[in-house]
Structure 1
């Protein structure tokens, strides 16, 4: 029966331990239970029905449009104004001294000369045949005149015989004979006329042979068609220039670099903003900056890239700009009204269209499509907005068109 007092002693000792040693823990536990019960009661009594907030708070800026120079930027390259492979039109050995590549040649300067060979003799023969043909013309003309005279005589005799026959003074046989003589005279006139035409045709044929022989001699000297730089050496002395089918024999290659062209390809969305005569500039890969005017805009798009070729003429009097250099080209275009806004203000609507959200006069959110014109370190220039707009820059992702908003405005530094 001693176990009961022992149990009571243990319980009392535990209670005394908690009350004295763990007093703080015990009080905290007791207060937590009371707070939970009280909070439960208060919540049950005071929590109202939760409703959606009607007005969304956003941050916006007052933005005004400004006119900016809306340039078209494309990448391209330099291209020679003209480049041609000068070809020989006849076969023969080169007898001229070669001009070395890099040399400057002027229009009409001799580049290659070919040995004439027997071409001079062929020309002389053609001229002799022409003189012979011309000498035959007077003889043929005399024959025509003689034939015409005989025809006139035959007609007179025929006329006289016919009248005598009517009066009974000439026989029908004589009339028939005079008529036959007229027919023979007419045939003689035709023959003489044909001989004259043949002589004249012989003259034309001889003149053609002379022209061919002269042209063949003219082809012996090859001239520069325009002023420019030699990109290759001219044909070496003693080398054989030989035409192959319709392809001529190569004498040299000339390029014209003043003025030089800048060639770029403008997208179809931008080509309408480029005009003939517009100012343009470019920075070459070497760092050199050049300026010129737009001289050509293609009317047909490249079928593969759907871009349009644009050419810009740039003065190059010192020939410092070479053919084929990479260039970043900026073409001046008509200015546009645009807003400078932070890039973070841009958003997309449900159709994936780029735009911004603004605060309307009725304090409602509205979506406005925009076009990005230029990206800078201060922001992006956008067109498509009204001249003055209150643009939401914070919170635009949490509202849609027609939602009431309460905007607080920040200072906008443009």
Structure 2
């Protein structure tokens, strides 16, 4: 019989004995916590004088310690969160107008192609005048004629007034002579009839003068109408910009409302985003803002508009940022990530997995209290990033349970294992 296999069997048996029956002592020895085997005589006497610990209390403490639920806790310290409201949006032309015809005629001008730069007042479409110039000349002639008739009507009115004064003098003389018996009743009646006729003549002359004046106003309105109609033959650019579409082709028949061209202004462009109602009060008109476009370009501007009315479907508010685009590098409709300067606040950066819900469905985190029991605290999500989530509503220092938070409730004793935020 060989000696080495026998010794190996004995060693394995001893190891199994200690591992099974003396497990706690073995682990204590491995941790370097083995107790001294001998004590001094004085220590022995002192120990004899000390009352023995209650075995029942020791067992209760050990049982309580064993009943605690192990969790991993993050010691989190509140840090200043950069003062910005983050949202997504897109670029939009500062102005965009569809220039349309206001009268009927055919195009006689050569078309301009899309992308063409135009200035305010540049010709976009010119329409055939037709008989409009002749109509304008006719209206001018009628105006001249009406103005020539006005002095004649005024002279007739003055003549009627003179006749009235003469008739009034004759009537006064006839009345005095009739009182003294020197004039007959026939003469008095004739004087009164002449006075009434003069009054009627004045009314007729005044009517003629008003008709003459009305004729002048009508002729002047006709002249203005024909002038306006001639002006409508030239459709011009309302502002400096770019043609987004070709102008109407030569020979095309235009009706009132027919599209001549679409002009957009891009030298100043707007970046438009929609901010949630929880963040809208942090944004003010005039605040600095920056945006990063989908192609990597970064631009800066100022907030020019914050909507006072929420979108009924998304419950968000429109925000507009004016950005200089003199070189026209920014196009209409590009996607942009927007950051708007706002008042900063302190927040905790936690793993997204640390978030949980209470029995009422409210969002929050589980904390470790001073007595090593679990507690729930509601939080506000401020920003979601790729490496964590920023939350507010917690004290400056908080022990947040990041592993095991879904297995404990308020008041449950826990056995925390702490780790720092960098781990």
SS at match of 1:257: strand
Please list the CA deviations of residues 50-72 of structure 1 after superposition, one character each: whole Å capped at 9, or x if unmatched: 96667656543443212212533
Segments of 5+ residues of structure 1 without an aligned counterpart are: 1-23, 29-45
Q: How does 1:287-298 map to 2 (within 5 A)?
A: 287-298=296-307
SS at match of 1:139: helix
Please list the CA deviations of residues 89-145 of structure 1 after superposition, one character each: whole Å capped at 9, or x if unmatched: 222233323222211010111222222222221111111110110011111101100
Corresponding residue to 1:241 among 227, 230, 253 = 253
Q: How does 1:264-413 map to 2 (within 5 A)?
A: 264-405=273-414, 407=416, 409-413=418-422
SS at match of 1:259: strand
- Report how many aligned residue pairs link the two structures: 366
How far apart, in 2, do the equivalents of 1:236 and 1:379 lie? 58
Q: Is the 8 A contact 2:76 2:420 kept in 1?
A: no
The answer as to 2:126 corresponding to 1:117 is no
Cα distance, 1:361–1:167 mapped onto 2, change above 3 Å:
farther
Corresponding residue to 2:102 among 89, 102, 118 = 89
How far apart, in 1, do the equivalents of 2:420 and 2:277 lie? 38
Cross-structure match for 1:173: 186
How far apart, in 1, do the equivalents of 2:90 and 2:110 lie? 35
SS at match of 1:98: coil
How far apart, in 1, do the equivalents of 2:386 and 2:220 lie? 77
Cα distance, 1:92–1:394 mapped onto 2, change above 3 Å:
closer
Q: Is the 8 A contact 1:70 1:373 kept in 2?
A: no
Cross-structure match for 2:149: 136
Which is worse superposed, 371-380 or 213-222? 371-380
Deviation at 1:370, TM superposition (A): 0.6
Q: Is the 8 A contact 1:65 1:387 kept in 2?
A: yes
Q: Is the 8 A contact 2:380 2:392 kept in 1?
A: yes
SS at match of 1:130: helix
How far apart, in 2, do the equivalents of 1:364 and 1:283 lie? 46
Deviation at 1:208, TM superposition (A): 0.5
Q: Give me the CA root mean square deviation.
A: 2.7
Cα distance, 1:59–1:287 mapped onto 2, change above 3 Å:
closer
SS at match of 2:300: strand
Please list the CA deviations of residues 367-387 of structure 1 after superposition, one character each: whole Å capped at 9, or x if unmatched: 110122223454322100012
* TM-score, length basis structure 1: 0.80
Q: Is the 8 A contact 1:65 1:388 kept in 2?
A: yes
* TM-score, length basis structure 2: 0.79
Deviation at 1:242, TM superposition (A): 2.1
How far apart, in 2, do the equivalents of 1:207 and 1:376 lie? 71
How far apart, in 2, do the equivalents of 1:285 and 1:271 lie? 24
Q: Is the 8 A contact 1:66 1:337 kept in 2?
A: yes
Q: Is the 8 A contact 1:360 1:366 kept in 2?
A: yes
Segments of 5+ residues of structure 2 without an aligned counterpart are: 1-8, 14-55
Cα distance, 1:123–1:236 mapped onto 2, change above 3 Å:
same
